Amino acid sequence: MISMKMAIVSHVYLLCIFIVAGTADDFIFRKVHLNSAKAVGFSWSNCGGDKDPAVMNTMSLSPDPIVIPGDLKASAAGSTAVALSSPLSVNVTLHKEVAGFWVKVPCVEQIGSCDYEDVCQLLDTLIPPGQDCPEPLHTYGIPCHCPFKSGDYTLPEANFYLPQVDLPYWLTNGNYEIVGVLGNNGQQLGCLKVTLSIHTA
């Protein structure tokens, strides 16, 4: 993965793009099968202060638009001045632009503006310890379990296939802003903001 930051980024922030983007409103639990969706105008920035020990240095996704299902090229580099260890929280805030206003999307079924108490546990659940980290992490020797040592993490450009997914049907066209705050015991370690637009077909 990329940095611990990217570990989280990959697993949470990036997932956010395709899954959280499908956050459900309380009254809309229905899922739809989309033939395809496009994500346009992906951009990112660090949103913490200078004191945040974990920062993203580069991050790129292409093509623009990103088509789902389809191929995605991603690269990222991040660094952390401190080891990232359990409990590693990620607090996600998702806003969607509705009629010109930015509306906070609630947390429903673990998707939306959700606080994840310990991403380390989540990673251990997704990827059983002892098993090779998924590609392309394995190839580049990027770890996928806590603790992530302090230092620099780089994922050179790698190809991913984005499968077709069922999304809450209200996740149609729109502009989204996702902020993820990485923390440990209430102390902020890093903050990443991602914006993009989704167009469904």
Ligand X SMILES: *[C@@H]1O[C@H](CO)[C@@H](O)[C@H](O)[C@H]1NC(C)=O
Q: Which residues ranging from 107 to 126 are in contact with ligand X (CB under 6 A)?
A: 115
Question: Minimum CB separation from ligand X for residue 49, in Å?
Answer: 12
**CA pseudo-torsion sign 95, 97, 98, 103:** positive
Nearer to ligand X, 119 or 181 (CB): 181
Is 54 within 8 Å of 5 (Cβ atoms)?
A: yes
Which residues are CB-neighbours of 8 under 8 A, at least 6 positions away?
Answer: 88, 90, 119, 180, 182
Distance CA 134, CA 168 (A): 27
Non-local CB neighbours of 65 within 8 Å, separated by 6+ positions: 38, 39, 40, 199
The stretch among 18-26, 47-55, 94-102, 178-186 that binds ligand X (CB under 6 A) is 178-186
- State the Cα–Cα distance between residues 35 and 29, nearest whole angstrom: 19
Segment near ligand X (CB under 6 A); pick from 20-28, 37-45, 65-73, 183-191? 183-191
Cα 36 to Cα 42, 68, 179: the distances in Å are: 17, 5, 25
Its sign, for the CA torsion 111, 118, 120, 122, is negative
Identify the residue among 57, 172, 188, 195 touching ligand X (CB under 6 A).
188
Interface pick for ligand X out of 24, 181, 192, 198 (rule CB under 6 A)? 181
Query: Minimum CB separation from ligand X for residue 182, in Å?
Result: 7
Q: Which of 87/174 has CB closer to ligand X?
A: 87
Task: Select 137 or 181, whichever has its Cβ closest to ligand X.
Answer: 181
Nearer to ligand X, 8 or 167 (CB): 8
| Residue pair 154/2 in contact by the 8 Å Cβ criterion | yes
Regarding 183 and contact with ligand X (CB under 6 A), the answer is: yes
Nearest CB to ligand X, comparing residues 59 and 191: 191
Interface mask toward ligand X for 52-91; x: CB under 6 A? -------------------------------------x-x
In whole angstroms, the minimum distance from the beta carbon of 34 to ligand X comes to 31
Helix (H) or strand (E) holding 157: strand 151-162
37, two tokens? 């969706």
| Site residues, ligand X (CB under 6 A) | 89, 91, 115, 181, 183, 186, 188
